[in-house]
Structure 1
Amino acid sequence: MAVVTAREAQDWLIEKIAHRMGVPTDDISPEVYFDELDLDSTEALILAGEMESWLGFELSTTTLWYHPTVKDLAAYIAEECGRRAAIA
């Protein structure tokens, strides 16, 4: 499994969110809370599935609760990738 940096995860998230919302990537701040984004539950589930496919592991259902911004989630993803790579 490849280790994903926080910057790579942040860029990936911003690109996917912007695409789903039909806006330029510059319109998505890393500091924005997910619940402030105009994504419906179906789009959020699709995004989570794409993220899990990209990462190669499942995220818990509480991940967004504990990491509510793009920046926070990206940092968590990098940390989790590093942890998983270390035990692999």
Structure 2
Amino acid sequence: MAAVTPDEAETWLIEKIAHRLGVDPSEVSREVYFDELDLDSTEALILAGELENWLGFELSTTTLWYHPTVKDLAAYLAEESTQRAAAA
């Protein structure tokens, strides 16, 4: 699978979060902390599962803890997917 860019990951995350919250993507800040969003734990688990399906690899259960904003998580996901694509 091809590596994703930070912009691609950020766009994906914002669109999925906006959909789950029922808001326009322009209302989801890339700087907001995930725990400030109105997502319950079930929705967060579903989002993580969709993210893993999109990326093609599993995420650590602590990923959102260590990368707590859309911007931070997108950068991490791009780096991780680049490393995995290079190793494949």
Q: TM-score, normalised by structure 1?
A: 0.99
Match of 1:29 in 2: 29
Give the percent of matched residue pairs that are identical in Structure 1 and Structure 2.
78
Unaligned runs of 5+ in 2: none
**What corresponds to 1:55 in structure 2?**
55
- Root-mean-square deviation (CA, aligned residues, Å) is 0.4
Q: Which runs of 5+ in 1 are unaligned?
A: none
Which residue in 2 is equivalent to 1:39? 39
* SS of match in other structure, 2:15: helix
CA distance in 1, matches of 2:43, 2:86: 32
Aligned length, in residue pairs = 88
Runs (4+) off by over 4 Å:
none
Counterparts of 1:58 and 1:47, CA distance in 2: 12
* Partner AA of 2:44 in structure 1: A
* Secondary structure in 1 matching 2:30: coil
